[in-house]
Amino acid sequence: MTPNGFPKSRLALALAVLVPLGVLGDAIWIRLAGTPPWQGLDDHWNALVGGPADGVRWQLAQLLNRLGAAPGLALLAIAVVALLLTKRWRSAVFACAAVAASAVAVDLVKRVGDRPRPLDVMIDTGSWAFPSGHAARMAAFVVIVAVVWIPARHLRAWWPIAVFLTVLMMGARTWQHAHWLTDTIAGAALGWSVTALAWFALTPLLDRERAQREALDAPVGTDTDGPGALRSVGNGKHAIAEVP
């Protein structure tokens, strides 16, 4: 299992740069205007969702609420340790950097936007509403999984699952009235884009890990003239792989 390379499409990088700027611009708009122009949409959605604090939907929302907080960070720490134990420290660096960058970006935008949460919030919450930190963490998580754990041939199958998990977290946050709908949209967009930027920034590190692991997995005896060629040293069962 090797880390995947950053998409070659220029659109992916452009979106990763522009989306955080757009979310920050929305936060400034909220701060200056007090009531954003999309408040009517948020009010309408807030009136549609939510219900009694029991039942399957509530328990699922509570589970996602917890996973977006300390228990989720504990799971991430376990995953990072697993990467280190399998000698994938570069992937571990990327995972930690992506989570940290996403958290810093969310905190910064929250402070700028200064948007109150819905008055009928059904759980204990902290800080400001815009953007949703839980949605940002889920979006960051699914991108990290795509980069570090999903084989390249299975990426197309993973992305619909990634979208589903992110939307599920967004729904859970609005179901408990912890966020406005647009808070969760902005959070998911920010988490995805900042993690994508971390992916792009750490591409040389991840590419080196991928090259090393592919060299180790290559058949012994392969010999090419290019840099990084894998050569056989020795004979028969005692042959070892050498990477120049």
Alpha helices for the chain (secondary structure H)? 10-33, 39-48, 55-67, 70-85, 89-113, 133-148, 155-175, 181-201, 203-217
Query: Is residue 130 within 8 Å of residue 152, measured between CB atoms?
Result: no
Rounded distance between C-alpha atoms, residue 26 and residue 130, angstroms? 9
The model's pTM is 0.84
Tell me, what's the pLDDT at 229? Answer: 46
The mean predicted confidence, pLDDT, of the chain is 86
pLDDT digits (tens, 9 = 90+) for 19-66: 999 999 999 999 998 888 899 999 999 999 877 777 788 888 888 888
**What confidence tens digit (pLDDT) does each residue in 12-22 have?**
999 999 999 99
Residue labelled with tokens 């290019």: 226
Checking if the pLDDT of 230 tops 50, the result is: no
Q: What is the pLDDT of residue 28?
A: 95
Contact 128, 117 (CB under 8 A): yes
Q: What percent of the chain has pLDDT over 70?
A: 88
Query: By the 8 A CB rule, do 72 and 66 touch?
Result: yes
Cα–Cα dist 222/138, whole Å: 42
Q: Is 190 helix (H, G, I), strand (E, B) or coil?
A: helix
Q: What is the pLDDT of residue 225?
A: 47
Nearest to 142 by CA among 93, 175, 102, 110: 102
* Confidence (pLDDT) at 243: 42
pLDDT at 78: 92
Average pLDDT (197-223) is: 81
What is the pLDDT, as a whole number, of residue 195?
97
Q: 242 and 231 in contact (C-beta within 8 Å)? A: yes
